[in-house]
Amino acid sequence: MTELVIDPARLSFIDIATSTHNHTDHLDAETLRPILEGTPSLKLVIPEANRAFVAERLNIDPAIPVGVDDESSIELSGIRFSGIASAHETVDRDERGLSKYLGYILEFGGWTIYHSGDTVRYDGMAEKLRPFRIDVALLPINGRARERRIPGNLFGREAAQLARDIGARQVLPCHFEMFEFNTASPDEFVHECQRLGQKFKVLRCGEQWHS
C-alpha cells in the first residue's frame, strides 16, 4: 500500500538496527542486507532466541547480531536497550526459555522510548513496562482477524488503553497502511485516545515527528 520512503542502500549513516522477531516485515532481508553491506559496523539487535534464523536469512556470521532477552539489557552507542517479551499472539519461548518475540525499551539522553514490535496484551505486561516511565510508545493497531491467517496484534482501542495503563506520555500507532490484507484504520485508536485523554500522534509513511 505504500512505496519505499528511501532506498535502504542510502542508509549508510545508521549505527544500530533492531529486529523484534522473525516475520518478514520485521526481519526484511531486502532492507537489511543493503544496509549491512554499506555499513559493516552496523549493530543489529535481535532476540537471542532468533540468532541462528537471523544469520541464515541475512547470510551473515551468527556472531554478528547482538542478542537480548526478556528483562535483560545491553548498552550500545550510549543507548540502553531493554528487552520486554511480546505476545504475537502468545508469549513464545524456545527450548532454552528465551523469548522469540520482543519489544525494546530504549533509554538515551533523558528519553525513554518503547517499541513493542508485534504484540497483544498479556497478564503482567503493563506492570513490567510502567516502571520505565515511557515517554513515547509505538504500538501496533491492526488487531486480529482469523481470515488473515497470520498472528494478530492489539486493536486500536487496546493500544490506546495499554498506553494509558503504562503511563506513556505519548503513543504513536504502527502496523497499518502497509499491507492490504493486514491493515486497519487508525480511527478507533484516535477515538479511544481522545476518550481516555491519552496524548497521541498518527504518522503517515515517511512523515517526521518532533516533540
Give the domain 8-196 fold.
Metallo-beta-lactamase; Chain A (3.60.15)
Q: What is the chain's pLDDT, residue by residue, as a tens digit (211 residues)?
A: 778 888 999 999 999 999 999 999 899 999 999 999 999 899 999 999 999 999 999 999 999 999 999 999 999 999 999 999 999 889 999 999 999 999 999 999 999 999 999 999 999 999 999 999 999 999 999 988 777 677 789 999 999 999 999 999 999 999 887 777 767 889 999 999 999 999 999 998 888 888 7
Cα radius of gyration (the chain): 17
CA-based torsion, 54, 85, 45, 149: positive or negative: positive
Q: Which of 63, 64, 69 is nearest to 49 (CA)?
A: 69
Query: Strands 73-76 and 66-68: what pairing?
Result: unpaired
